């Protein structure tokens, strides 16, 4: 779901989600255990604008380079010394039965994940009531509630995987906690908020948080030239 646009083609609907996997990012390095252990000026490989901005905000001394390819390709590049570390989604590693590849999992407090990271959605025809009835059996309500808040946040920011935006919604009883973050692409500035609301107000909370962060960020915040 983290790669799905917030607007669907006419006639299609996303309303079925499987139970959410681990939302955290994985730190992968053959040399050190954690991000904090990286030496000054270390070369870090990632193709994610979000991770790039978060890294440079936390450690502006790092040298971040493009790092593309599937898991095996990225591990091969690490072995060849192209970079000292890279980042993957813990959810993907779990699903590939490769969790051992992660040197450590990064807490959301240190690197807030991408919107909807770790969740799988099923798209259907909006008019197909038979399919809707079948899919309702496997739909995970808590995941849907969490993604409603996160994706509303993303939609209100007019964001995509091409902008440094992060968010994570979590449930505690009848309360939903939403953490959201926007960053300048060069990592020079990060603006974040942490709010709670009743679960049924999750989508509204996402929109309100986005509006607040946009007001704080100002025009041109996501511009590479700013």
Active site residues: 3
Q: CA 74 to CA 38: how far, in whole Å?
A: 18
CA-closest candidate to residue 23, choices 98, 100, 120: 120
Q: Is 225 exposed, middle or buried (0-12, 13-18, 19+ CB in 10 A)?
A: exposed
- For residue 181, give Cα distances in angstroms to 20, 66, 143: 21, 22, 20
Helix axes of 141-156 and 202-217: crossing angle, nearest 10 degrees? 30
User: What are all long-range contacts of 124-128, with beta carbons under 8 Å and residues at least 24 apart?
Assistant: 124/12, 124/13, 124/14, 124/15, 124/16, 125/11, 125/12, 125/13, 126/11, 126/12, 126/13, 127/11
């Amino acid at each position: 779901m983290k790669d799905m646009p917030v607007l669907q083609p006419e006639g299609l609907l996303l309303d079925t989600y499987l139970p959410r996997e681990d939302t955290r990012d994985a730190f992968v390095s053959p040399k050190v255990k954690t991000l904090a252990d990286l030496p000054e000026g270390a070369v870090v490989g990632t193709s994610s604008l979000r991770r790039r901005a978060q890294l440079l905000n936390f450690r502006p001394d790092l040298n971040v380079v493009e790092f593309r390819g599937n898991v095996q390709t990225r591990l091969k590049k690490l072995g060849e010394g192209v970079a000292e570390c890279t980042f993957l989604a813990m959810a993907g590693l779990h699903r590939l039965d490769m969790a051992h590849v992660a040197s450590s999992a990064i807490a959301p407090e240190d690197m807030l994940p991408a919107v909807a990271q770790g969740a799988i959605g099923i798209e259907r025809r909006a008019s197909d009531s038979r399919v809707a009835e079948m899919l309702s059996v496997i739909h995970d309500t808590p995941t849907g509630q969490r993604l409603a808040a996160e994706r509303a946040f993303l939609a209100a920011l007019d964001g995509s995987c091409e902008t440094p935006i992060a968010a994570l919604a979590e449930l505690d009883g009848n309360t939903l906690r939403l953490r959201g973050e926007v960053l300048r692409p060069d990592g020079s500035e990060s603006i974040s908020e942490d709010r709670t609301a009743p679960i049924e107000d999750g989508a509204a909370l996402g929109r309100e948080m986005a509006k607040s962060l946009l007001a704080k960020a100002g025009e041109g915040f996501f511009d590479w030239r700013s």
